[in-house]
Amino acid sequence: MINLPPAFIYIIGALLIPLVRIRRLQQALALLIPVLAMVTIMQMPQGTYWQMQFLDYDLILGRVDKLSKLFAYIFVIISFFSMIYAIHIKEIGQHVAAYLYVGSTLGVVFAGDLFSLFFFWEIMAASSVFLIWYNRTEASLKAGFRYALVHLFGGAILLGGIVMQVSTTGSTLFNPFDLSTLAAKFILFGFLINAAVPPLHAWLPDAYPEGTITGSVFMTAFTTKSAVYVLARSFAGTEILIWLGAIMALYGVFYAVIEKDIRRLLSYHIVSQVGYMVCAIGIGTEMALNGASAHAFCHILYKAVLFMGMGAVIQATGRRNILDLKGRYLYRKMPITLGLYMVGAFSISAVPLFNGFISKTIIVAAAGVSEMPLIEIMLHLASVGTFLSVGLKLPWGVWFGKPDGSEDEITDLKKIPLNMHLGMGLGALLCIITGIFPDILYKILPYKVDFHPYAPSHVVASLQLLVLTLAGFCLYTNKLMAGRKSISLDTDWFYRTFGRIILEFCLFPLNRFRDSVQSSFANWTAAMASLSKHPYALLEIGWYTVTGQKKTMAELLQRTYDEKDYRLPIGIGVCASLIFLFIYALVYMRVAS
């Protein structure tokens, strides 16, 4: 009997964690939540659950099939590993934000209607931004705001598409869309922002490197892969995704090769690897969709291991640039981190016996079977760049590197908590297990798998690319490691520049105009307030103006009102009354006659 959606297990658990005051119990609860979610998902047979009515529309919180269960499995697994990695963090708010993030992602995965999808989509963006802000630096604050603005914009586009879709069809069901409609185009655009498809991708390498050490590990798994899920669910076989995905794969690799910031480099590889998945979804065959699903599963594992490894380096050294780390012989001081990192590096590089090999080869083979030789070549080139940057350049620069005489010795390494190594170790172990025994993964893919990754042709082709890439790296190591600290210009330059122009306009001409208007109104308000306290001052101002006497308005308004100053002798009043009555009598008699 299924009682509670997995999404709400995380959301309720996140709200309960701060209420537990004993730290050990907090940690136990944080680790128990993924276990409960996994047990629930394993017991969920295919079907539709948790349906309810809202404004005459059907809300479905539990559409369960092989595709949704596959993504749910890996999301829960990586949340468990990531929480082990982060369990030493005493700031409970980080754990709350992380589990709200995970729970909302599971809500997206099991959503059967568009309204539920959008609801969880927005919680996903709102909760994940705190994993950036908790780093508490000026850079993370600014990056978090840019991240929030981009995702709020994407959410608005998605909502517009949903409203058009519902108003046109009368249905809220989340099913494949007809791209010829305007509503589907809006929805696709909203999905592509979260998938980090260029030129809509710059939020990812901007924000992920600025997150907390543990928060960035969570962020690598959920936002982009939930976008891959919804694209596979609703836009499989859309031709434009083939080219967008292939371009993504090359674009991310290019920037990774020239990047020196270790987490920014890995962030660009998220763009590249998600490109493989988007490309496979565009191809749309059963083999390609299996490849996209398998690669999402494997990518979540090895990318988490890679970010965990770089997070451990930053934790120990306080440095995050290759130029600040090379030549300092960290391999002697952090051998365990190096070994676990290399498992993730070999996995992402599609080295045989590691899980990236068993998923990436399906996608490349699917492109070949579909007779797309140019796409196949583009994906192979991206594989070369991946091994060059993540498997060779990054570990060489961080742990080894040739000294150039300017290096200072890193003597004050902070100790890496055991739980961080344990989280990395579990992720690396699963990368190896699924790489050696691919059927463990293939059995839970959406369609029946008739593919053998360890066929001699696949192994030989992969090894050829790897060996040639290694040879090229050995020849050009110095050039790849050379350079200086800099920021690579990307498409975020456009909205950063536009935003800066708007900000400067608001701060200077617009603000000066506002100040002048506010000052004028303030002066007039003060004058009217003073005049209300001294009403006869207005007559005095007129009198002194006519007579030319030197009295300023400020002097007259500052006087305290005293009724005795304006009281006239009674004779004047009587005389004025008699004159008035005399004139009135004359006029009356004149009219009467």
> How do residues 273-319 score in pLDDT, each as one tens digit?
999 999 999 999 999 999 999 999 999 999 999 999 999 999 999 88
Residue 573: predicted pLDDT: 77
Q: Would you say residue 124 has pLDDT above 90?
A: yes
Same structural domain, 515 and 400: no
Q: Would you say residue 2 has pLDDT above 60?
A: no
Same structural domain, 165 and 249: no
Same structural domain, 155 and 255: no
pLDDT confidence band for 1 (50 / 70 / 90): very low
Give the percent of the chain with pLDDT over 90.
68
Residue 512: predicted pLDDT: 80
Same structural domain, 160 and 261: no
For residue 503, is it within any domain?
A: no
Q: Which of 212, 233, 254 is the last residue of a domain?
A: 233
Report the pLDDT averaged over residues 109-130. Answer: 95
For residue 336, is it within any domain?
A: yes
For residue 497, is it within any domain?
A: no
pLDDT confidence band for 492 (50 / 70 / 90): confident
For residue 499, is it within any domain?
A: no
For residue 332, is it within any domain?
A: yes
Same structural domain, 101 and 249: no
Q: Which token pair is 270?
A: 């998220």
Same structural domain, 425 and 369: yes
Q: Which of 205, 233, 261 is the last residue of a domain?
A: 233
Q: Which of 436, 452, 484 is the last residue of a domain?
A: 484
With residue 425 as reference, give the H or E element that holds it.
helix 418-436
* Structural domain harbouring 554: 508-592
Residue 330: predicted pLDDT: 87
For residue 411, is it within any domain?
A: yes
Same structural domain, 226 and 243: no
For residue 489, is it within any domain?
A: no
Report the pLDDT averaged over residues 369-375. Answer: 93
Q: Would you say residue 562 has pLDDT above 80?
A: no
pLDDT confidence band for 538 (50 / 70 / 90): low
pLDDT tens column, 204-240: 999 999 999 999 999 999 999 999 999 999 999 999 9
Same structural domain, 105 and 250: no
Name residues whose C-beta falls within 8 Å of residue 248's C-beta, 6 or more positions apart in sequence. 196, 197, 198, 201, 271, 272, 274, 275, 278, 279
**Distances in whole angstroms, Cα of residue 227 to Cα of each of 40, 191, 281, 364:** 23, 6, 11, 21
**Residues recorded for the chain:** 593
Same structural domain, 466 and 522: no
pLDDT tens column, 153-171: 999 999 999 999 999 998 8
Same structural domain, 137 and 254: no
- Name which of 153-162, 257-266, 291-300, 509-518 the model is least confident about: 509-518
pLDDT tens column, 71-112: 999 999 999 999 999 999 999 999 999 999 999 999 999 999
For residue 490, is it within any domain?
A: no
Same structural domain, 1 and 81: yes
What radius of gyration do the chain's Cα atoms show? 34
Number of domains in the chain: 3
Pairing assessment for the beta strands 47-54 and 57-64 based on DSSP bridges: antiparallel
Residue 8: predicted pLDDT: 95
Same structural domain, 202 and 266: no
